Amino acid sequence: MLQEARLDISVVIVSYNVRRFLEQALRSVFSALEGLEGEVWVVDNASSDGSVRMVREQFPQVKLIANRENLGFARANNQAIAKAKGRYILLLNPDTIVRNDTFKVMINFMDEHPEVGAAGCRVLNPDGSLQLACRRGFPTPAVAFYKIVGLSSLFPKSRRFGRYNMTYLDPDEVAEVDAVSGSFMMVRREVVEKVGALDPEFFMYGEDIDWCYRIQQAGWKVYYVPYTEIVHFKGESTRTVPKVKNQLEFYRAMYLFVRKHLGRHLVPRWVLTAGIVLRGAASLIGKGLYKIAFPAADLFLSLTGLTLGILTRFGYFYPLPPYRDIRAYIIVYAACGAAWVGAMWIAGAYGPRRYSLLRAFLGTFLGFLAVTSAPFFWKEYAFSRLVALYALMYNMLLLPGWRVLLGWLGRKGLRLGRRRALVVGLGHEGMAFLKTVSEHPELGYDVVGLVSDGRMMEEAIGGVRVVGTVDDLPELVKSYRVDEIVVTTSSVPYSRIFEAASRMRRTQVAFKLVPTSFEELATERELPLIDLEVPRRVWRKLWRSSGK
């Protein structure tokens, strides 16, 4: 039984080991609540990163529920929903940033449209692009089939084939949809009283689609409202969950939805279940192939180096004394390949520093030591030390070399999405940004220069030159053919930066903001930059809403 409605809105956030994101989200939430009667609930699912302590110390006004075990997303939300006192209940992910006007805009929309039971706003990725999951179709057999075989990607504007993410809709227009994302879902109180809360059988996926389905079955509508937007660092709230468990829960949620709502569909349930199992298996295999890409390349190249070593030493490959049997070759090659790949793993060449030349050289040398030591224990497979030395020479070129090649291709702009960037200011966040993009060329950034924020700066920092001041931005953008301006300091008012931007001729230049928690949030695949300019109308809305 819900509490009596006394407030405009109850914001419910379920958190699990995302303290840095949660802190950032709560700051934006309380800014957006100004002028409204609201409450904020945080339900922590037994985090071990100090989230509970942070909320208690920094946000004492938050109504906190600290669970002793991970109850899952649905059950944890239901704990707060049962005690919420708002006319509207908002489910919000902890890895989001809310715009100052978001709550007011969404409440006004719901007040003006009493037939709408649930609604979601525009959800942006950190790079400013639309997060397609913020408006979705129900995963019927046909919709799922179009997605799996790729027809939804080939024909995104088709009403038939593009229904999975409703890509045929204009992202700037209000639209009735099947479902909105649980990362931001505003639900009318009367809806909860009639259809109930989230289904606790869903652990961490699918509960939002299931809820939207039940809401529509009860006679209400679900709407996508792009009048306002949030930024969602998608995947961060589930990053601490083991990836295999993550995948299993996702496909389990699909199965639960099929069992609950599509059991009487024209397609037999066993066919739908088989499709989910096959799709899940294919996804797990695909992720496994991605993980073994670097070790597989090193295995192939290290054995290539060994072969070249044999040819350099003897001038021919087969047969070699004392090997008269091809099986001996197989054993030697398998052992040498395993030694070099194992040594690269020990050197840390497959982790976040997989592009590090130092680790590649170290792994190659450790592999050489392992290969030359092995014959002392298995004398029947002993071979020329000179072969091993030649193989070391070739592998010292091949294993680090292909990593250098990837970096060179990136610096030459041959990687899709490569960007030339200017960095405004420096400080701790700026140093973290420069370090991250230099260590991970696959992120696609070329920092062409640093822009002074008005303080004294050296001529070069971290190997990157200081090329001018904020007032010089128009000329610098033109001279260096800049694609992005990354703002890493709060010492320069945004108004000054964007005044300089108004004088630029290259209007396609993007502006990105480095959050204060950049170092904790950055990953080897994605930078948590806040898009301030792409598209420009997004910046104008943010500017107006912030009052700067």
Model pLDDT for residues 157-171, shown as the tens digit of each residue: 888 888 878 888 988
Over 60: is that where the pLDDT of 340 sits?
A: yes
E strand segments, 381-483: 419-424, 445-452, 460-461, 464-469
Band (pLDDT 50/70/90 cuts) for residue 537 is very low
For residue 153, count other CB atoms closer than 10 A to its CB.
14
Interval 328-341 mean pLDDT: 86
3-class secondary structure, 492: coil
Q: Which of 51-55, 113-117, 335-339, 488-492 has the lowest average pLDDT?
A: 488-492
Over 80: is that where the pLDDT of 43 sits?
A: yes
Give residue 385's pLDDT. 78
Query: Which residues touch 453 (CB under 8 Å, ≥6 apart)?
Result: 424, 425, 426, 469, 470, 489, 491, 492
Question: CA torsion 490→495→499→502, rounded to 10°?
Answer: 100
Give residue 542's pLDDT. 42
Band (pLDDT 50/70/90 cuts) for residue 536 is very low
Tell me the C-alpha distance between 185 and 297, whole Å: 44
Q: Which of 140-144, 201-205, 351-355 has the lowest average pLDDT?
A: 351-355
Fold held by 7-137+177-237: Spore Coat Polysaccharide Biosynthesis Protein SpsA; Chain A (3.90.550)
Tell me the C-alpha distance between 321 and 308, whole Å: 17
Q: How does pLDDT run across 96-142, given as a tens digit for each residue?
A: 889 889 999 999 999 999 999 999 999 987 767 788 888 888 877 77
Band (pLDDT 50/70/90 cuts) for residue 477 is confident
Q: How does pLDDT run across 364-381, given as a tens digit for each residue?
A: 999 999 888 876 666 666
3-class secondary structure, 509: coil
Band (pLDDT 50/70/90 cuts) for residue 341 is very high
For residue 478, count other CB atoms closer than 10 A to its CB.
12
Give residue 533's pLDDT. 43
Band (pLDDT 50/70/90 cuts) for residue 439 is confident
Give residue 416's pLDDT. 44
Interval 7-33 mean pLDDT: 91
Query: Which residues touch 273 (CB under 8 Å, ≥6 apart)?
Result: 255, 258
Q: Which CATH number fits domain 419-546: 3.40.50.300, 3.90.1170.50, 3.40.50.720, 3.30.360.10?
A: 3.40.50.720
Over 60: is that where the pLDDT of 265 sits?
A: no
Tell me the C-alpha distance between 522 and 410, whole Å: 20
Tokens of 193: 């009283």
Cβ–Cβ < 8 Å for 137, 163? yes
Q: Could you tell me whether strands 484-487 and 510-513 are parallel, antiparallel, or unpaired per DSSP bridges?
A: parallel
Furthest CA-CA distance within the chain? 89
Give residue 534's pLDDT. 36
Give residue 338's pLDDT. 92
